[in-house]
Amino acid sequence: MLCGIVKISAWLALQNPRAAELFITICWFLWTRRNKSRVKEAVMPLDKLSDLVQQYLQEFQQLRGKSVIKRPPKQIIWKPPDPSTLKTNFDSPIVEDLEAAARRAVTFLQELGLGSSIFEGDFETSILAIKLVFPSPLVGHLIKNIMSSASSL
């Protein structure tokens, strides 16, 4: 069914882009209504569908014309750690292994008997997860292990 909808919307986009937007929006509203109905949530009456679709598309068109203000990226200035602290970098070529790389970096410092260190890695989400102890079902156990190991340094 989805393949048919994609083909129809592609054909409509070639014929009349506004018609394609209307068709896709109607499909989205109907699909959302169906899902809400399936889980026993309140649904909009079908006789209101036309008005809601028109309001939604009108708002979309108004927002579409507005320019997005881009903020310049934060300027990060590197500074070396203080002399009594090491910098431990745990980059990993594969994103899924970055948490394991961080854990190995902590273990390596423990094996060497080294103390205070600043940890640095490439993947911002992993760094935030380690800092905040983000409860992730995929890597939560690794983060807890990293935090536990790092606290013993």
Residue 112 tokens, joined:
């060497």
Q: What is the dihedral of CA 94, 98, 103, 106, to 10 degrees?
A: 100
Say which DSSP state 46 is in: G
5-14, 41-50, 68-77, 88-97 — which is least confidently predicted?
88-97
pLDDT value of position 131? 55
Instruction: Report the alpha-carbon distance of residue 39 to residue 137 in Å, rounded.
Output: 25
- How many whole angstroms separate alpha carbon 89 and alpha carbon 123? 11
Mean pLDDT (whole number) for 31-35: 88
Q: Where are the domains of the chain?
A: 2-64, 86-151
| In the predicted structure, residue 22 carries a pLDDT above the cut 50 | yes
Round to the nearest angstrom and report the end-to-end CA distance of the chain.
57
Q: Which H or E run includes 75?
A: none
Mean pLDDT value of segment 92-97: 53
Report residue 4 as tokens.
């048919």
pLDDT: is 131 or 144 the higher one?
Answer: 144
Per-residue model confidence (pLDDT) at position 108: 77
pLDDT at 134: 46
Average per-residue pLDDT in the chain? 71
Using pLDDT thresholds of 50, 70 and 90, give the confidence band for residue 10: low
* Digit-coded pLDDT (tens) for 144-153: 666 666 666 5
